[in-house]
A and B are shown apart, each in its own frame.
Chain A
């Protein structure tokens, strides 16, 4: 009887299983009684939303893959057959295509929530870094998925983005050949992108699991950015946050439904309704909207290698952010200057998005450079200095202390 688990469940069947494989105890501990700060606002829904979104992508993706043909001669047509011949195939495809956009909206809000409330700070550095890994995996997955329907933008987007790797000194050209599986974007490229597009979401599932494990070691941050002190400050996850997350999921599904049923082409590019043609370059090659800020940073630098480095650098700074921000105070609520800079950063990211969508001419070049400069200045210079010079506001004694007077008003 060495390792048997002492289960507290009354139901004999559950107890029998739980004694041998304590899944029920684990679920109850991590999602039932798990102590959670009681002062979350609705921005704390977005983690759960991302999880729901990931499941939706995997389910729709697997069914799409049953009908999709990863061959350059058939891919476009097979997607159109999904739209016309497969029962509710249009629904599957529009949910999957718009689901990618929803996923990035949700995850970007999730990330900026973390930035605003300082959720990346000790002891949650690793949790944050795992999150950045998820973002990178999502980007790779989204990029390769967009290539699959083999429209004009699929083909030319793939060509432009894979070509970026050729800027890497010495090994660049070999990497590009490896990505292509040949000497141009062609059938082998489509085959390997399909294979990887199927694989990576499951890698994401694994990394999300680590993200959650790390979260349940440190516990959640909260809008005040101070740790819960005692039972007064927390609530059991269930039913309080299961129901609050359910409200969020309902609203999220409504937004998703409006997109899928009434504006399925909103985030799409008309050019991708024309089959890929290596001989005809589209008037403008534009990546999916969620890559636009990075695309803008890439083009802000006149040098190819420099641009590529800056683009990857934009994510690398997020990776080391826990050590760039030297302030001991987490929440922007108590950091007046940081709060201002946060909004400047948000504006910069939106402007970079707009810059990425336009030809790099005139005002767009200047805007792109200014905002790129601010982006790096923000993380590499301002945040390290701010920790030293900013006068932060006094922190409340505890979560319940901060919360009770407000409730009495």
Chain B
């Protein structure tokens, strides 16, 4: 019957053409990214909290010297397992401008309700300190790049000597995975760049994996709630569909169609 043909053909076209349609926007010089295993992928995925905490340590000790995280809040660190006291302590390490009781500009320590402190007062200052290149805000960085956490990992581990014949611009570095290969950020990570509080061996790969996990968390702090709620809603809908379909069969049982 027609409906079957419709459905089968539709499915075949869908399967063949949709990926081509949707994936390919910027596919001109597509560099394929090595895929990593992420704790948070898949319908049951959740963040590896130990890894995300190590990642936060790297963000704090390395990346935050240049990159802001200005849409994220200190309180969101609860989602990677920091206690309230730890979060308060982290926030209090920074000072924020305020108006004192005397009406004069003053400073106050940060609180969990504050956005992450930015390293530079504005973009111009950030560029000036980075040879003209702007370190992008990291709050939504994994969402804002094709490949997400895989891209962050690849970028951080993708520094190499420029191949013969490639002339690097002033202050530029060669990276396999950066579009155009010339990036204004020097390799921020290397073996033993940090000393992990939990004793994990700080290889470059480990560091890149951890910080990518942390950045993925900051981009999608709702991920665990979202997937948990999604599973429950899908189970409910599946049951509802079965019941509704049974009732439909029952109602239609006396109709020849």
0/1 per residue, A277-289, Cβ < 8 Å to B?
0000001101001
Whole-angstrom distance from the CB of A334 to the nearest CB of chain B?
Answer: 11
| B64 touches A (CB below 8 Å) | no
In the bound complex, residues from chain A placing their C-beta under 8 Å from that of B20 are 354, 357
Whole-angstrom distance from the CB of B99 to the nearest CB of chain A?
Answer: 22
| B31 touches A (CB below 8 Å) | no
Docked complex Cα distance between A403 and B1 (Å) = 12
A:337-389 near B, CB below 8 Å: 343, 346-347, 350-351, 353-354, 356-359
In the complex the two chains form, is A247's CB within 8 Å of B73's CB? no
Main secondary structure of the interface of B (DSSP, over half): helix
| A211 touches B (CB below 8 Å) | no
In the complex the two chains form, is B251's CB within 8 Å of A243's CB? yes
In the complex the two chains form, is B22's CB within 8 Å of A357's CB? yes
In the complex the two chains form, is A247's CB within 8 Å of B251's CB? no
| A29 touches B (CB below 8 Å) | no
In the complex the two chains form, is A43's CB within 8 Å of B25's CB? no
In the bound complex, residues from chain B placing their C-beta under 8 Å from that of A351 are 17
A:241-265 near B, CB below 8 Å: 243-244, 246-247, 250-251, 253-254, 257-258, 260-262, 264-265
Contact partner, A407, options B43, B227, B240, B256, Cβ 8 Å: B256
In the complex the two chains form, is B247's CB within 8 Å of A243's CB? yes
A:29-46 near B, CB below 8 Å: 38-39, 41-43
| B76 touches A (CB below 8 Å) | yes
| A235 touches B (CB below 8 Å) | yes
| A323 touches B (CB below 8 Å) | no
B:232-256 near A, CB below 8 Å: 233-234, 237-238, 240-241, 244-245, 247-248, 251-252, 255-256
| A292 touches B (CB below 8 Å) | yes
- Asked whether A261 and B2 contact (CB < 8 A) given A80-B140, A351-B17, A403-B257, the answer is no
In the complex the two chains form, is A246's CB within 8 Å of B244's CB? yes
0/1 per residue, A286-298, Cβ < 8 Å to B?
1001001000000
Docked complex Cα distance between A357 and B21 (Å) = 6
In the bound complex, residues from chain A placing their C-beta under 8 Å from that of B238 are 254
Interface size class of A (residues with CB under 8 A): 35 or more
| B201 touches A (CB below 8 Å) | no
Docked complex Cα distance between A243 and B252 (Å) = 9
In the bound complex, residues from chain B placing their C-beta under 8 Å from that of A253 are 237
Main secondary structure of the interface of A (DSSP, over half): helix
In the bound complex, residues from chain A placing their C-beta under 8 Å from that of B179 are 283
| A271 touches B (CB below 8 Å) | yes
In the complex the two chains form, is B143's CB within 8 Å of A250's CB? no
Contact partner, B2, options A246, A333, A356, Cβ 8 Å: A333
Contact partner, B226, options A41, A261, A270, A286, Cβ 8 Å: A261
Docked complex Cα distance between A57 and B103 (Å) = 47
A:82-121 near B, CB below 8 Å: 83-84, 90-91, 94, 116
Whole-angstrom distance from the CB of A276 to the nearest CB of chain B?
Answer: 13
B:18-47 near A, CB below 8 Å: 20-22, 24-28, 43
In the bound complex, residues from chain A placing their C-beta under 8 Å from that of B229 are 91, 261
| B145 touches A (CB below 8 Å) | yes
* Least CB separation from A37: chain B residue: B257
In the complex the two chains form, is A258's CB within 8 Å of B222's CB? no
In the bound complex, residues from chain A placing their C-beta under 8 Å from that of B146 are 270
Beyond A261-B233, A356-B21, A407-B256, 13 additional contacts (C-beta under 8 Å) are: A41-B1, A77-B71, A90-B222, A243-B252, A246-B248, A250-B241, A261-B231, A264-B226, A267-B22, A273-B140, A274-B136, A332-B2, A353-B17
Q: Hey, which bits of chain B sit against chain A, CB under 8 A?
A: 1-3, 6, 9, 13, 17, 20-22, 24-28, 43, 71-73, 76, 136, 139-140, 143-146, 179, 219, 221-222, 226-227, 229-231, 233-234, 237-238, 240-241, 244-245, 247-248, 251-252, 255-257
